[in-house]
Chain A
Amino acid sequence: MEVFATALPALNDAFAMILQPHVIGYLVLGVVMGLCIGVFPGLGGIAGLSLLLPFMFGMEPVTGLALMIGMVAVVPTSDTFASVLMGIPGSSASQATVLDGFPMAKKGQAARALSAAFASSLFGGLVGAAFLTIFILAARPIVLLFQTPELLMITIFGLSMVGILAGRVALKGLVAACLGILVGTIGEGASSGALRMSTYDLPYLVDGLKLVIVGLGIFAIPEIVALLRQDKAISDRAPLGGGWMLGVKDWWANKWLSMRCSLIGVVVGVIPGLGGSVVDWIAYGHTVQTAKDKSQFGSGDVRGVIGPESSNNAKEGGGLVPTLLFGIPGSGSMAIFISAVALLGSGSIEVGPSMLKNNLNFTYAIVWLLALANVVGTIICIAASGGIARLTEIRFALLAPFLFMIISFAAFQSRQEIWDLVALFGIGLLGIMMRRFDWSRPAFLIGFVLSAPAERYTNQAYQIAASRFRRGFDEGIEYIFSPIVIVLIIITLLSVVIGLRQAKNIQAEGSVDSGSKRAPLIFLLAITGYIALTYWNSAIIPDFARMDRVFPIFVATVALVGCALLIVQMMMKPETNAIFADRELQEISANTYGLWGTLAWFASLLIASALVGFILALAGFLLLFIRFRAGKSWGYAAIYTAVGIMFICGMAATLGRDFPPGILQSVVDLPWPLT
């Protein structure tokens, strides 16, 4: 009751602060700006917040907060557009939404998927805020209970979701996840700074690959290329009736699922260090595990949209806990948020340990501004979803160049080097092959996302535990096997057992026919070769940096065993076995164009960018693509190109970004945007 005595007056204050016309006005402004930026994959809240930061200084604290929060809150809502309509994971928050959202769009149910997603987002956001209002008062000691072994176990729990998403051949899923982890270890080791699969001569790889590039490459590029080869619209049938109301009804029918996933979102979001990158996978896994009929997951089950979307907005609320209470941001956008709050109060409001004690009313204002922004954002998104969903009916050859422009621009934001585009292309090629041979791409992505935390927490937990054991056996055991760890181990084991038992029914990426033996075997051998190379590369890390050697060696060993078993199976099994899945044969009748011809278009964009810079290359690419591949007139192509270039330049100018330069630019000085 004492809790309520402190909470209620502060809550009252908070609402008095929020419910003023000018505060709401700034909130709506922030939401609209956030939507405009969030719709584009890979940009997200960081770009938007950096944009606002200079204007924050001297602003009245509450209005400034409203503007900022409006912007942050809607990003996980608005990136759903890209996930559902194009199959592009807009941010780490909506990776799992792609799995069922995009197949729904293909079936002409885009509006339904979108509105179900938005309704879930809204609900998740509100549940998150309500939960936080109480929880934030008690959160501090609970958050501190999550020590390194607990964080490690949550990471492993996240990895166990691979079990559900592994596809028909569990071993392939396992190897895919290991491959993802190994790709995640590329670069400088966190522990001793040893280089893995990289060299100082190629500084790009030293920092490893970024999620934006891997997410776009592994999901977006294969889908775009596949659609382009079929030369139709995204949706292969006329839109179903009912539209957005149907989606809201779907959400209502699954409100308890939505509730559970929201709570998963808040709780995982609260824990600092994981950054919410696992939340949507855990929610998706939970959704699948608790569903009675699992046959439709991966080919357009609306529950597969509701689960992750309920969790990802709730996560934003949960993420406020480490941000506000400890001053430790759970994500890049939260980090900028901290800086901005410091600017707002001119130092009087300092995010961190003193926030609750001194500024409880502000804390509540932030929590409920977030909830309110969700409401506003969702209403705008639902209103727009019917119209935007029509994008899926446009002939894809006209949409694709535009998408490639956006994706390249987004990828380039990762490091602002031409290598970003090379990496995107390389990972994209891997994604295309994985899609073709039915290797689980979600498993790969989970592995990649969790690679760094898995290694970091393993090393740290090992080191700290060793020190505890030196002090006494009991102390060491107590540290490693805390009650939370034991509970997490049980949950993880259950999840793996249930997952493996059901994995055969769940085809996260639809069913795939089997074909000849040769092509799948070659791909498997190529993957085995890469893993073997990684093994060798890690093995030569000298002893003084052994902490950077253990993890990749361990993962590569597991993967190599998996590969060996797969090779044996391939030799024993007949051609019709699922292990030889090859999408190329299945889609042979639907494909109008060859794979390599289609890829050559994009390779040429890349090569031309390296030569003459992105904008000039893009202009040529758009013009020629629309003229020859889409078969439109020169006039049409010219107008398309002009609009495209103007659009991308406008966006870059607003965000203050440059484009990749080519060799030409190192010789001649050109004015922006050609620089």
Chain B
Amino acid sequence: MFTNLMRPLACALTVSTAMVGTQALADGHAIDLSGKTVEWIIPFSETGGSAKWANFYAPLLSEELPGNPTVVVTFMPGAGSTKGANHFQGLEYDDGTTIFGSSGSTQFPFLLSDPRVRYEYGDWNVVLASGTGGVSYLPADLAGQLGDGGDATPLLGEDFIYGSQGATRLDLVPLLAWEMLGLQVEPVFGIEGRGDGRLMFERGEANIDYQTSSSFLSGVTPLVEAGTAVPWFSFGALDADGNIVRDPTFPDMPTFKEVCEATEGCATEGQAWDAWKAFFVAGFPAQKMVFLPAGAPEAAIATYTEAFNAVQARDDFAEISKARLGVYPQLTGSAAQTALSSATEVPQEAKDFVINWLSERYGVVLQ
């Protein structure tokens, strides 16, 4: 049943490239935003990956929207992004000057029926879905002990410390992955952003960490060059058939799937694997999405879709986005719609498995 689910997303990924530059807009139906200010709500603080992503797109979007409105990124952190999302849920479409940027950390509480969630993805109108990946890395001495193909067996006796933002956040994906490999990882909660987690790793207090692709590129690559950090595995990317393959941004790194196969006791099938993959798909290949509020008319959706298409059609887009976002699909139109569905519709068994695991392993009770 998982393969069935992957297929639409996989199609979406293929279609995405074709979508760039297509005219989604009938003439004369665009909304005019001249002289206006578009507020782009990001439900996180200024330090995270979402901030980087929005700050990357904001000026480009401003150039491509009709009337060249000023695009301002507003940060509304709180309650693990559910606060900003709840706020956005309360808004009604007015003149197209408010957009919302969600992230995996907004999707997960929604999937896990967090009591704070008062928003419904189905009400919103997606205009962009950006994928990303993630990389898990180790200090050089521990990485040196890894077996062939990243086999985790030699590290089973190690006490791992990980600076975590919370087990119900995106951290769920690496935590579950490490647990499947048999590692003893103790998360230290209360970290304010993944940047603080990296600092904890640099100080030698944490000895395992993960970063999303863009943060890995800017923050960890210098450590890798200095020899203090060694990448272990990437979470991978999805191919056209919904299989996990190597991440195109990190083609030389094994994926978690490969490492899991190389490690005795880690299975790439069964309940745990299915749940991991479902949450990976919900959290990474369509991690960050841009929405217009409930009730947005076709013209507004088309205008934004068109603008995001135009951004990606820029001659220098490949070059400037590679350094800032990594090489990941940026989906618009129906491809974004499909990505949204696969990111927010996770099978009940996977949800049950994760909810149960969270309560048994971390004592996290949602409700």
A→B interface (CB under 8 Å): 50, 53-54, 56-58, 144, 146-148, 188, 190-193, 200, 203, 206-207, 272-273, 326-329, 332, 335-336, 338-339, 342-343, 346-347, 350, 352-354, 357, 456, 459-460, 463-464, 467, 470-471, 542-545, 547, 656
Contact = CB atoms under 8 A, between A and B. Distances in A.
A54 B199 CA distance: 29
Given A191-B190, A464-B188, A656-B72, A343 B55 contact: yes
B106 to A, nearest CB: 16
Interface residues of B, number: 53
Given A54-B62, A353-B222, A353-B223, A335 B47 contact: yes
Contacts of A146: 203
Given A352-B219, A544-B362, 10 more contacts: A50-B74, A193-B80, A203-B79, A326-B199, A347-B323, A350-B218, A352-B218, A459-B188, A463-B188, A464-B205
B320 interface: yes
A190 B78 CA distance: 11
B318 interface: no
A547 B115 CA distance: 20
B222 A354 contact: yes
11 contacts: A203-B116, A326-B195, A327-B219, A342-B55, A342-B56, A353-B222, A354-B221, A459-B189, A460-B188, A656-B37, A656-B72
A329 B364 contact: no
A192 B222 contact: no
Given A54-B58, A335-B46, A352-B222, A327 B364 contact: no
Given A327-B195, A545-B363, A342 B52 contact: yes
Contact of B59 (A273, A336, A343): A343
A350 B320 CA distance: 13
Which of A188, A273, A327 is the most central at the interface, judged by chain B CB atoms within 10 Å of its CB? Answer: A327
B83 interface: yes
Interface in B168-216: 168, 186, 188-190, 195-196, 199-200, 202-205
Contacts of B200: 148
Interface in B73-129: 73-74, 78-80, 83, 86, 115-116
A58 B60 CA distance: 10
B235 to A, nearest CB: 22
A192 B366 CA distance: 11
Task: Pick from B58, B203, B364 the residue with the most CB of A within 10 Å.
Answer: B203
A650 to B, nearest CB: 16
B66 interface: no
Contact of B363 (A327, A456, A544): A544
B278 interface: no
Nearest to A273: B196
Contacts of A328: 47, 195-196, 199
A50 B202 contact: no
A332 B46 CA distance: 7
Contacts of A50: 72-74
A544 B47 CA distance: 30
Contact of B159 (A272, A357, A470): A470
A586 B135 CA distance: 66
B24 interface: no
B14 interface: no
Contacts of A190: 189-190
B29 to A, nearest CB: 25
B123 to A, nearest CB: 19
B365 interface: yes
Contacts of A326: 195, 199, 202
Contacts of A193: 80, 166, 168, 364
A4 to B, nearest CB: 23
B45 A335 contact: yes
B267 to A, nearest CB: 28
B199 A188 contact: no
Contacts of A354: 218, 221-222
B79 to A, nearest CB: 6
